[in-house]
Amino acid sequence: MTLIDGKGTAAAIRGELKERTVAFEAKSGRKAGLGVVIIGDDSASQVYVRNKTKACEEVGIRSVTKSLPADISQEEAERAVEALCSDPSMDGILVQLPLPRHLDERKLLAKIPVEKDVDGFSEYNLGLLAMNRRGTVACTPLGIMELLRRYRIDVGGKDAVVVGRSNIVGRPMALLFLNDDATVTVCHSHTKDLCSVCRKADILVAAVGKAKFIKADMVKEGAVVIDVGMDRDENGKLCGDVDFDTVKEKASFITPVPGGVGPMTVAMLLSNVVEAAEKTLK
């Protein structure tokens, strides 16, 4: 079994991006910029946003965070997003999810212009992906493809199974695999006999949000196992959607939690910001 080192890979990518931000600043006379909107006080979201802004600083991206109260109205939230978007020094805009329940996520995200949609959550960017055309791809699935590429794990012709169908992970992940010629199955809460579907996977991606949900009997000998989960086990310890200790005995490659997919999500966000900034020079 080979442990896929997301933490180390993400650090290498940040090093590569640093060179590009320096070149961008030399050409444009300003730093690449990321505007972050966080609404409410979800503690996990606050940790994620802090990780993102810290990583920005490390690679030379200027980040501006707008923290808005949980009880903000839809109109006020939209105005705050629009104000950040209209700042020409902000190359990318990110609205941290999930939002407080009373807010309309679709309407709020629609305020972000496509060229600043560094999360790739817009209908336009997801539509481009669905049609196998180049656009901005959501950071988590993009980070998984980058890990597979750097570990020379070929996707073409493989049976890829994605557990979870969210707009931000499962769906774009399935489309990326399909675009790279995998045979793709997407599983969800209505899937019959999840176990036997997962057991057919050459590449298994778990994006369910349930601690240690994927057990060893759901994994084929030699499968590549990618864990998107960020869960807590019965002792409150951080773990993934995969029962790592037993599954690692069967997998050929596996990502740990923490130190697997998580740091790659942040690295791909930075990469999408640098791409967006570089496009403003053309």
Where does this chain bind ligand GUN (CB under 6 A)?
A: 94-97, 119, 139-140, 168, 265
State CA 14 to chain mean position distance.
16
Identify which of residues 168 and 198 has a Cβ nearer to ligand GUN in the complex: 168
DSSP 100: P
Edge to edge, the sheet with strand 32-39 lists 61-68, 32-39, 92-95
The least CB distance from residue 161 to ligand GUN, in Å, is 21
| Catalytic residue (choose from 5, 91, 117, 119) | 119
Identify which of residues 97 and 273 has a Cβ nearer to ligand GUN in the complex: 97
192 catalytic per annotation: no
Beta bridge partners of 203: 160, 224
74 catalytic per annotation: no
Identify which of residues 136 and 265 has a Cβ nearer to ligand GUN in the complex: 265
The least CB distance from residue 65 to ligand GUN, in Å, is 12
Identify which of residues 139 and 174 has a Cβ nearer to ligand GUN in the complex: 139
The least CB distance from residue 266 to ligand GUN, in Å, is 9
Residue 282 one-letter amino acid? K
User: Is residue 11 exposed (0-12), middle (13-18) or buried (19+ Cβ within 10 Å)?
Assistant: middle
The least CB distance from residue 241 to ligand GUN, in Å, is 14
Please list, in sequence order, all residues whose beta carbon lies within 8 angstroms of the beta carbon of residue 222, skipping any fewer than 6 positions away.
250, 251, 252
Cα–Cα dist 200/161, whole Å: 8
User: Is residue 159 exposed (0-12), middle (13-18) or buried (19+ Cβ within 10 Å)?
Assistant: middle
180 catalytic per annotation: no
DSSP 254: E
Please list, in sequence order, all residues whose beta carbon lies within 8 angstroms of the beta carbon of residue 123, skipping any fewer than 6 positions away.
110
Cα–Cα dist 136/132, whole Å: 12
Indicate the SS3 state at residue 279: helix
Q: Which residue is nearest to ligand GUN (CB)?
A: 97
Identify which of residues 101 and 152 has a Cβ nearer to ligand GUN in the complex: 101
| Catalytic residue (choose from 5, 31, 52, 231) | 52
The least CB distance from residue 52 to ligand GUN, in Å, is 8
Catalytic residues: 52, 96, 119
